Amino acid sequence: MSRARSRHAGAIHGSPAPTIIDVARSAGLSKSVVSRAIRGDPAVSASSREAVMAAAEELGYRANAVARSLVERRTYNVGVVVSDLHNIFFAEVLDGLYAAAAQLGYRALIATGNRDPIAEERAVEQLLELRTDGIVLAGSRMSAATVAGAARAVPIAMVGSDLRLKGVDVVVDDDFRGAVLAIEHLAGLGHREIAMIDGGQGAGAAERRSGYESAMRAARLGAQVRVEPGDFTESGGYEAARKLLATGRRPTAIFAGNDQSAVGALNAVNEAGLRVPEDVSLMGYDNTALAALRHISLTTIHQPRNQIGEIAMQAVVRRIENPGAPGKRHVLAPMLVVRSTTSPPRKSSRLRSG
Amino acid sequence: MSRARSRHAGAIHGSPAPTIIDVARSAGLSKSVVSRAIRGDPAVSASSREAVMAAAEELGYRANAVARSLVERRTYNVGVVVSDLHNIFFAEVLDGLYAAAAQLGYRALIATGNRDPIAEERAVEQLLELRTDGIVLAGSRMSAATVAGAARAVPIAMVGSDLRLKGVDVVVDDDFRGAVLAIEHLAGLGHREIAMIDGGQGAGAAERRSGYESAMRAARLGAQVRVEPGDFTESGGYEAARKLLATGRRPTAIFAGNDQSAVGALNAVNEAGLRVPEDVSLMGYDNTALAALRHISLTTIHQPRNQIGEIAMQAVVRRIENPGAPGKRHVLAPMLVVRSTTSPPRKSSRLRSG
DNA sequence: AAAGAAATTGGGAACGTTCCCAAGGGAACG
DNA sequence: CGTTCCCTTGGGAACGTTCCCAATTTCTTT
């Protein structure tokens, strides 16, 4: 029956794709049997199954997820809205999300808001129209009201932002704890003048700052607390570090709110003619790919990003399959990663301050 | 009728979402009128339109794209398969893709292959089942046969890889030209011993290499051509640069295949006790965010990534709406971006070699 | 060999839209 | 005032599946 060269009918885009009915006709069976065979339903005789598969292959049949979704009233799609794809931080979260979705039998559909809350809302609205079974919001800047509105339609999980909304799962790193880890490391090396560059409105910035303050007090360094305003960008870190170095007592260690700003700070320290870590120790937060570059080799706090994504996806799927289950808050433990930007302070300053 | 507090019926996930029929009943009109009003069809009286909109709002109605797609036999979705979300290079391409899709009335649905050709194929297959109207492949590593198979079902555009398949649009930066730009810059500064770190199998690596060779010959530096095998990773650049510096005549300038590997090379140069750009000039390719960091400040070749994305999306949509149109090759012009890692060679070496 | 049970098959309804066509109600026109 | 035409409306079919139920076939068992 089939030509020698091409196994599939050479469908050009215009011509309609074969349906289950075409396969049925070609296999000499009913559409019901074809449907069952395609889905792997055991209630099909071996011979029928074979005939169906052969016909499907021959025609180049591909299941139509649209029709299937319509009758099943679910899509097995989970939408993921990422506020910013430029932020490498989210790449690994997406990996985790993706892997977990595949493992649970769902597809992850990624949309982005390009750092614009309005665009994010539009993206959510579109995913809702597409009838995704659930949505994961990564680093969202949307208002609580909007999120709550979406949560009415479909289970939602958020990562990166810590909205406490009932019916919404939240997966966060324990930023407070991470900051404590950082300060314990620096204080343990003997530093006393430990300044922090703040992350402003950034995700987790407030927790990191209070972790810093708390750990400083715990180390009896409450008097040395010094928080320089900044943000989570490279230039924010640069400017903040310049101020730290130019005025007041010069810190022997700087804890930046994230890796980006730490890299900016690194540059400011170098420009001031100081060396890292000999003159100033420097820490970041997030353990992004940036921190791992040899040329930078930044001591930082690792967030289990992959796992964050996994857990978020699992949370959504759990609530898809178990409607009515309440949303939870999942807090993950950060980890210290020591690289080359931290060392004990110079003897002189150590003596002077001790 | 409606409670005071909540404008929308407080639908909890289990209860079915309202349909056009619910709206029709509530507005006292037929489903046809509702359908038309929702879609903005002018053939609806003002009073009906108002009634429909009010009822829709009241019920929290949201159009069901699944049902709509089934009957229209198109989804207005364009799938985007990104080989690697960690590669910041693609973030801007995605921006362009996304913006163009929105502007043309389509949605972009992003899927990823995690650098695994098998996973990429799976992603494509899933998008095809979802009946996306077209697909953009970004940095794909799939076999030509697989791509051709997908192209039979739906218009395809590729960015980053340069498969010449009929029925497939390709959008690429002119990598040959970019490499020429790099060498012209270095040669123009007075460098003669200009080595290149190759990108191996990476996208565009071959073109960049031949651009290098050609430009070297054009500058009468054919005898100085020296290509060190490498890849597009940081450690690849590091290892390659070590070899370049350890053996043979030491180059005064190194052109790395991309920014990542240039950063690795930067580290190797520093470790050898040499300074950039005083002792060795260094160039990358891509103008990623990495290159722009002050701490790195790499001279590099810029690819119009945003535009690459835009053009790819436009190409797919053009062929969706105009089936049978042939695929084209779109070549974009790269640009030199001078930062701090290039300068004229030291006098001494210049004299020696001149 | 008959009867009952089990396995397999087929047909119709449903999912929520859009599209097409027919019908109703004015307005305009002669 | 009757006819025609336009504007609006409503109902049924279709999109490609899955699900349910009834019908048929095949196997067991006595």
Q: Which residues of A touch B63 (CB under 8 A)?
A: 129
pLDDT per residue over B290-311, tens digit each? 999 999 999 999 999 999 999 9
Whole-number pLDDT of residue B202: 84
Q: How far is the CA of B23 from the C1' of C20 (A)?
A: 22
Q: How far is the CA of A31 from the C1' of D24 (A)?
A: 17
pLDDT per residue over A230-258, tens digit each? 999 999 999 999 999 998 899 999 999 99
Tell me the average pLDDT of chain B.
92
Q: Which residues of A touch B92 (CB under 8 A)?
A: 86
Tokens of B206: 């071959």
Q: Quick one: CA dihedral A278, A281, A282, A287, positive or negative?
A: positive
Nucleotides of C under 7 A from a protein CB: 7-12, 14-20
Strand D lies under 7 A from the Cβ of residue A20: yes
C-alpha pair distances (Å), A276 with each of A147, A285, A295, B285: 43, 17, 12, 28
Whether A39 has a pLDDT exceeding 60, the answer reads: yes
How many CB pairs below 8 Å do chains A and B form together? 148
Which residues in range 36-75 of chain A are in contact with strand C, contact meaning CB within 7 A of any of its atoms? 36, 42-48, 67, 70-71, 73
Contact (CB<8Å) B109/A114: no
Whole-number pLDDT of residue B348: 56
**Vertex A57 angle, CA B113 and B144, to 5°:** 40
Of all helices (H) and strands (E), which one includes residue A126?
Answer: helix A117-129
Residue B4 banded pLDDT, cuts 50, 70, 90: very low
Task: Count other Cβ atoms within 10 Å, centred on residue B41.
Answer: 12
Strand C lies under 7 A from the Cβ of residue B35: yes
* Mutation choice for B interface testing from A7, A130, A135 by most B CBs within 10 A: A130
Contact (CB<8Å) A94/B109: no
Whole-number pLDDT of residue B162: 80
* Mutation choice for B interface testing from A86, A92, A106, A110 by most B CBs within 10 A: A110
Residue of A66, A266, A293 with shortest CB distance to B75 = A66
Tell me the average pLDDT of chain A.
92
Contacts for A37-44: CB closer than 8 Å, 24+ residues apart: A38/A63
Residue B12 banded pLDDT, cuts 50, 70, 90: low
**Vertex B199 angle, CA B193 and B205, to 5°:** 100
pLDDT per residue over A209-234, tens digit each? 999 999 999 999 999 999 999 999 99
Whether B86 has a pLDDT exceeding 90, the answer reads: no
Contact A192, A221 (CB under 8 A): yes
Strand D lies under 7 A from the Cβ of residue A273: no
CA distance A219 to chain B (A): 32
Whole-number pLDDT of residue A242: 97
Q: Which residues of B touch A83 (CB under 8 A)?
A: none
Residue B113 banded pLDDT, cuts 50, 70, 90: confident
- Which residues have C-beta within 8 Å of that of residue B247, sequence separation ≥ 6? none
- State mean pLDDT over A129-145: 94
* Mutation choice for A interface testing from B86, B106, B109 by most A CBs within 10 A: B109
Strand C lies under 7 A from the Cβ of residue B45: no
Whole-number pLDDT of residue A7: 39
Strand C lies under 7 A from the Cβ of residue B50: no
| pTM assigned to the model | 0.90
With a pLDDT cut of 70, the percent of chain A lying above it is: 94
Q: Please tell me the distance from the alpha carbon of residue A97 to that of residue A48, in angstroms, as a whole number.
A: 38
Q: Please tell me the distance from the alpha carbon of residue A291 to that of residue B93, in angstroms, as a whole number.
A: 24
Q: Which residues of B touch A17 (CB under 8 A)?
A: 153
Q: Please tell me the distance from the alpha carbon of residue A153 to that of residue A323, in angstroms, as a whole number.
A: 11
Region of A273 on the Ramachandran plot (φ > 0 left; ψ -120 to 50 alpha; else beta) = left
Q: Which of B24-28, B185-189, B283-287, B346-350 has the lowest mean pLDDT?
A: B346-350
pLDDT per residue over A69-125, tens digit each? 999 999 999 999 998 888 888 989 999 999 999 999 999 999 998 888 999 999 999
Whole-number pLDDT of residue B120: 95
> CB burial class (10 A; 0-12, 13-18, 19+) of residue A237?
buried
Nucleotide nearest to A32 (CA to C1'): C10
Residue A6 banded pLDDT, cuts 50, 70, 90: very low
CA distance B323 to chain A (A): 6
- Which residues have C-beta within 8 Å of that of residue A237, sequence separation ≥ 6? A197, A230, A256, A257, A260, A261, A262, A263, A264, A265, A268
- State mean pLDDT over A41-57: 95
Residue corresponding to tokens 């997966």: A171
Whether B350 has a pLDDT exceeding 50, the answer reads: no
CA distance B331 to chain A (A): 24
